[in-house]
Chains A and B, each alone.
Chain A
Amino acid sequence: MSENFIAIKDLYVEYRTDLEVVKAVNGISFTVGKGETLGIVGETGAGKTTTALAILRLLPENTGRVTGGSIELEGRNMMELSPKEIREVRGQKISMIFQDPMTALNPVFTVGEQIGEAILFHHPETPKTEVEARVEEVLNLVGIDPKRKNDYPHQFSGGMKQRVVIAIALACEPDMIIADEPTTALDVTIQAQILAMMKDLRERINTSMIMITHDLGIVAQMCDKVAVMYAGQIIEFGSVEDIFSRERDHHPYTVGLFNSIPNLREKAARLKPIPGLMPDPTNLPAGCKFSPRCPHCMEICRSDDPAAIGEGEHKIKCHLFDGGGISRGE
């Protein structure tokens, strides 16, 4: 593909309070190249948002901490950047879109001012006319009438607010956008509009993207590569073709995720959900984190954390595939 824009290696992130230590991310590695879209799929508590916050060093100060691994941006180690340098990265090289458009915008400033602020922060010398021009350009880009730049957030609907949020993220032409469940709070028809717009923008500006979602449908429509996260680990990784292919092997959790979604085409009497719950991150099981819920759990799963094995890009962290195939051990 292209040289890696961002490379995460063996990342560990914890939240630490007096009472307990929450092991939110437990050794993940992935890369995103220029112009690529990586989908991070998982349920609540899998560690997806924590990963995103860790990349931009936005973890809560008192409690969140990166305890291992590295995050490299175009070859530079991000953990070593000074606070000033990391502020320059945010919004300029990497922008983030959060989940809830209702609270992401400041209600006392107009949308034009908020977009302008993003520009001025990174390029303080820009003359006012240029800032205005760029604000209008970016509003056009996201499908909002540029004349609305003097409107306040409360004058926009949910979908429009999310477009404004995206506009702010794009204001400085970032090389990468991290979108954390950007359409979860929106209606499905509005979601379709936003996703189409994001696809279009991606082609025009060639931004890389990390799309965090729990919706496999969005992953299928938008992503080139997919990382399936569970209990702070990437238990399966591959190209989107790898993950959605029925012929290939998959991690039992991935299978369970697909089985949990009612299929629009076929009618099943009952869904086949995964029994149980994601483990308590303050008290993770030894060995494979999915073992307590896995229908194929073997002795070794309870004691040894499996390594990520696979051909080419497609990797699965599962003992079933350690020496060749599901037939082993059954």
Chain B
Amino acid sequence: MNELASARTASSTKERGHTLDRLKEFWRRFRKNKAAVFGLIVLLLLIFASIFADQIADPALITKISMDRKQPPSAAHWFGTDHLGRDLFVRVVHAAPTSLTIGIVVAAFSLLIGGTIGVTCAYYGGIYDEITMRIVDILSAIPGTLLSMVVVSVVGGGMRNLIIAMVIARFRGVVRLARSAAIGVTGREYIEAAKSGGSGEFRTILRHIVPNIMGTLIVSATMSVSSAIISAAALSFLGLGVQPPTPEWGYMLNEARSYMATCPHLMIFPGIALVTTSLSINLVGDGLRDALDPKLKT
């Protein structure tokens, strides 16, 4: 153990508060990553815009068609109008909560389901682990997008089904991640120590394994929000996702395809919104990972 590491451990005579100190340290490290902070600001703005979408842009205008079709951006219509005369700005803003909701819900459910399966596989091992992992392997042979498409074509479109289809496609990756993270922990002596004190299996998993892999899982979940948003957009683009009249960026991109040459703004604005959202989440995720990695000295 080198001097730097032993210095950290040697300053044991100072008493520390608990989670507060940890959070402060985490924030200090996160803050140093300029890109991550930028991403966080943008993300917060997007979330703000999603929550107050109705205040920012009149929801009645989402579906209001007019005779002012395919207008470029102007004072009356900040992003211009689409091929049906609807205000693009309103539609883009109202699509934000759709995408963010899908992204977050899909990531959360994948984490819950995939995490539970992965952790129990790691802890119990044996036949259960073998069989489960083989099933996951078989499922993994089918490309995610394809799988989602198949599910949607069977159960129909709409946001709810889209979310279900995407979770089915994504939980496989989480199982693997959670399992490998948990395997790293199950071998540790403090797990044996818990057993020696009489801790039951459920308690050991919940109190000892899960808290110690949360870091890895949270980072991965954050990244998967952004990829879920893009996937949802892709599926909506293909007509297999969110159905009108709910505005959705991917769907808007699809609508704009025919008018690409004449009205590029119809593609540009939803496109930028999509990319910005995804990028900001990725930057935050990167920053999270670096800030949580104890080995990276800054």
Contacts and interface: CB of A to CB of B under 8 A. Distances in A.
Interface of A: 15, 17-18, 20, 22, 24, 44-45, 47, 49-50, 60, 62-63, 232, 277-283
Q: Which of A45, A49, A277, A281 has the most CB of B within 10 A?
A: A45
Given A280-B11, A283-B11, A45 B297 contact: no
A285 to B, nearest CB: 13
A17 B29 CA distance: 12
Nearest to A17: B297
B7 A49 contact: no
B67 interface: no
A50 B2 contact: yes
Contacts of A49: 2-3
Given A44-B1, A49-B2, A50-B2, A280 B7 contact: yes
A63 B10 contact: no
A242 to B, nearest CB: 27
A284 to B, nearest CB: 10
Interface string B112-138: 000000000000000000000000000
A50 B6 CA distance: 12
A49 to B, nearest CB: 6
A60 B295 CA distance: 13
A295 B11 CA distance: 23
A63 B3 contact: no
Contacts of A15: 3-4, 7
Contacts of A17: 4, 297-298
A252 to B, nearest CB: 20
Contact of A24 (B3, B11, B298): B3
A137 B143 CA distance: 54
Interface in B1-42: 1-4, 6-7, 10-11
A15 B10 CA distance: 15
Given A62-B297, A63-B297, A20 B7 contact: yes
16 contacts: A15-B7, A17-B298, A18-B298, A20-B7, A22-B3, A22-B4, A24-B2, A24-B3, A24-B4, A44-B6, A45-B3, A50-B2, A62-B297, A63-B4, A232-B3, A279-B10
Interface of B: 1-4, 6-7, 10-11, 297-298
Contacts of B1: 44-45
A281 B7 contact: yes
Contact of B7 (A45, A60, A62): A45
Contact of A282 (B2, B11, B297, B298): B11
B11 A45 contact: no
Given A280-B11, A282-B11, A283-B11, A45 B6 contact: yes
Q: Which of B4, B10, B11, B297 has the most CB of A within 10 A?
A: B4
B298 A281 contact: no
5 residue pairs, one from A and one from B, having the closest CB atoms: A45-B6, A24-B3, A280-B10, A22-B7, A15-B4
A19 to B, nearest CB: 9
A22 B5 CA distance: 10
A170 to B, nearest CB: 26
Contacts of A20: 7
B297 A50 contact: no
Contacts of A63: 4, 297
Contacts of B3: 15, 22, 24, 45, 47, 49-50, 232, 281
Nearest to A63: B297
A282 B10 CA distance: 9
A47 B1 CA distance: 10
Contacts of A24: 2-4
Contact of B6 (A18, A60, A62, A281): A281
Q: Which of B1, B3, B297 has the most CB of A within 10 A?
A: B3
Contact of B10 (A45, A50, A60, A62): A45
Nearest to B29: A18
A246 B120 CA distance: 60
Contacts of B7: 15, 20, 22, 45, 280-282
A12 to B, nearest CB: 13
Contacts of B2: 24, 49-50
Given A45-B1, A47-B3, A49-B3, 12 more contacts: A17-B298, A22-B4, A24-B4, A44-B1, A45-B10, A49-B2, A60-B297, A63-B297, A278-B6, A280-B10, A281-B7, A281-B10
A311 B6 CA distance: 34
